[in-house]
Amino acid sequence: MLSKTSVRFAILFMWSFFFPSWFYVSKGVLEDYLDLLNHADLVQVSIITLWLPVGFFGVLLYLLFLTPKAFVRGEKIKEIYRSQTIKIWDKIVTIFALCGIAFAVAWTYHSIDLLEKYGYVYSRDLTRITPTGIHLMYVKAR
């Protein structure tokens, strides 16, 4: 059994990592879309990254609703909540993950339609591959 302090540090780490990470990536996805709507000269479409704003939201809800009690008590979530509660939350997280995939696919098609409509062309030279995925770059055709 972990000490109460260890559990609390683990929860603090999760909060300090997951919430800012989700916000940072979601903000980036929104900025990419706003670049497209504002007809910027260079637009980025990150297909894998598009999953995160919706797909990861279930994990954030899980952390938001289940970890405060665990933090106060200094106990693991499994020790506080019934297995039925954990199973329900597992389903919620899974549903959000699947919705995130659907969102990423739909948003990609929507973005590609707008790119074609606004006269952008794909730039293989500017496209980047990073740990967060392939960032397709489109340039405004003159």
The closest of 132, 137, 134, 133 to 111, measured between CA atoms, is 137
Whether 41 has a pLDDT exceeding 90, the answer reads yes
Span 46-102, pLDDT tens digits = 888 899 999 999 999 999 999 999 999 999 999 999 999 999 999 999 999 999 999
All structural domains of the chain with their residue ranges: 4-140
Whether 132 has a pLDDT exceeding 80, the answer reads no
Mean pLDDT of the 112-136 span: 91
CB 40 within 8 A of CB 140: yes
Edge-first strand order for the sheet with 133-140 is 42-46, 133-140, 120-130
Q: Please, which residues bridge with residue 43 across strands?
A: 138
- Calculate the CA dihedral of residues 109, 111, 113, 117 and round it to 10 degrees: 180
